């Protein structure tokens, strides 16, 4: 049935509540969580050739997690009242989970990094195992922030936290590949040709691991879109917005094609032995994940509510 001509003559629109500070915060926590997980995997496996990667990522995770909440505080209308989050907590709000997770996780991360750098394997492993659930929840809760703001149909899906965690893994591994490649190229002069060969192999393996997480990410995105397109009216509108509407270039073009499909071909295709291809793929992946945060945060709020 076709709707009769409906013309909204007057209504009030309020300003965009969440701007890209929030998206950037999601991006940084994602990078941090991804690199922390890689670091703990390297520590737990305990092989000698993984050590450089384990060390780089151990220091990356807390640094990124110190940058991330600065975005949040800058976004507040009353930045000097940020301590209210700790004092006047509300357990039904996902932001409260976050304010405590964002305190606990960097502490564990910093002690873990000290243990890794002082080469104390035992405590590093224990802290790593303790830290992984923290790292996953510090990023997973950001998915809940969007999912529990149930007014916005693009956000209000149960897949949101999982999509966030998987895309965090993707971007985190991408960053590790880039930094490991920089180390390989310029800061690894003393190494013997054998260890250099090993390092290169390791970077390529990481890039392949990244391609597999991209596949998981694509599966989650496809299932999310499929459900959006077949659920209620608002959800259909949200699905069409990112597939054909204002955000289709960012979503289909940048996030899916440039940020997922092309990197996958670069890493798994005929260029799979090339370090340059792995680095280019990692840069593209990070651009794609940043675009994903943009589409989610800004795109979710574009659909008028009433």
Binding residues for other proteins, rule: CB under 8 A, are: 3-21, 72, 74-78, 81-82, 84-85, 88-90, 92-96, 99, 145, 148-152, 232, 234, 241, 245-246, 298, 301-306
Contact status, residue 223 vs residue 170, Cβ threshold 8 Å: no
Least Å distance, CB 231 to other proteins, is 12
Q: Environment class of residue 87 by beta-carbon count within 10 Å: exposed (0-12), middle (13-18) or buried (19+)? A: exposed
DSSP class of 50 = G
- Cβ at position 295, least distance to other proteins in Å: 12
Q: Which is nearer to other proteins, 92 or 192 (CB)?
A: 92
Q: Given the complex with other proteins, which of 30 and 131 has the nearer CB atom?
A: 30
In the complex, minimum distance from the CB of residue 222 to other proteins, in angstroms, rounded to a whole number: 23
Q: Which is nearer to other proteins, 89 or 219 (CB)?
A: 89
DSSP state of 76: S
Q: Is the Cβ of residue 53 or residue 250 nearer to other proteins in the bound state?
A: 250
Residue 46, sorted as left (phi over 0), alpha (psi -120 to 50) or beta, turns out to be left
Work out how close the CB of 27 gets to other proteins at its nearest, in angstroms, rounded to a whole number: 12
**What's the closest the beta carbon of residue 109 comes to other proteins, in angstroms?**
23
Least distance between other proteins and beta carbon 234 (Å): 8
CB nearer to other proteins: give 78 or 192. 78
| Closer residue to other proteins in complex, CB, 134/250 | 250
DSSP 3-state assignment of 52? Answer: helix
Q: What is the DSSP letter of 201?
A: H
Q: Which residues contact 16 (CB under 8 A, 6 or more apart)?
A: 298, 301
Rounded Cα distance, 247 and 235, in Å: 15
39/99 with CB nearer other proteins: 99
Closest distance of CB 90 from other proteins, Å: 5
Distance CA 42, CA 28 (A): 21
Taking the complex as a whole, how short is the minimal distance between the CB of residue 297 and other proteins, in angstroms? Answer: 9
What is the b/e burial string over 7-44, where b = at least 16 CB atoms within 10 angstroms of the residue's CB?
Answer: eeeeeeeeeeebebbbbbbbbbbbbbbbbbbbbbbbbe
Cα 201 to Cα 275: distance, rounded to the nearest angstrom = 9
Nearest CB to other proteins, comparing residues 21 and 212: 21
Cα distances (angstroms) measured from residue 268 to each of 87, 178, 209, 274 = 50, 17, 10, 10
């Amino acid at each position: 049935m076709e709707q009769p001509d409906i013309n909204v003559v007057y209504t009030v629109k309020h300003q965009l509540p969440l701007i890209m500070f929030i998206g950037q915060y999601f991006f940084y926590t994602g990078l941090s969580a991804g690199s922390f997980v890689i670091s703990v995997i390297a520590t737990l496996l305990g092989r000698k050739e993984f050590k450089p990667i384990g060390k780089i990522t151990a220091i990356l995770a807390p640094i990124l997690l110190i940058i991330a909440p600065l975005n949040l505080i800058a976004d507040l209308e009353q930045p000097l009242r940020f301590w209210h989050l700790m004092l006047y907590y509300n357990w039904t709000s996902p932001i409260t989970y976050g304010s405590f997770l964002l305190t606990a996780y960097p502490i564990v991360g910093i002690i873990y990094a000290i243990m890794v750098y002082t080469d104390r394997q035992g405590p590093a492993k224990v802290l790593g195992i303790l830290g992984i659930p923290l790292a996953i929840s510090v990023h997973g809760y950001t998915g809940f922030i969007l999912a529990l703001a149930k007014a916005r149909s693009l956000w209000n899906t149960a897949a949101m936290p999982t999509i966030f965690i998987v895309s965090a893994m993707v971007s985190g591994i991408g960053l590790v590949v880039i930094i490991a490649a920089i180390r390989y190229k310029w800061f690894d002069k003393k190494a013997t040709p054998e260890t250099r060969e090993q390092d290169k192999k390791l970077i390529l393996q990481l890039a392949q691991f990244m391609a597999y997480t991209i596949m998981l990410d694509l599966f989650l995105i496809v299932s999310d879109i499929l459900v959006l397109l077949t659920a209620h009216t608002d959800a259909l509108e949200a699905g069409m917005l990112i597939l054909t509407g204002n955000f289709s270039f960012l979503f289909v073009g940048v996030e899916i094609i440039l940020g997922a499909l092309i990197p996958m071909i670069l890493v798994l295709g005929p260029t799979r032995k090339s370090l340059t291809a792995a680095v280019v793929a990692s840069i593209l992946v990070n651009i794609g994940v940043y675009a994903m945060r943009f589409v989610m945060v800004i795109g979710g709020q574009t659909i008028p509510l009433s």
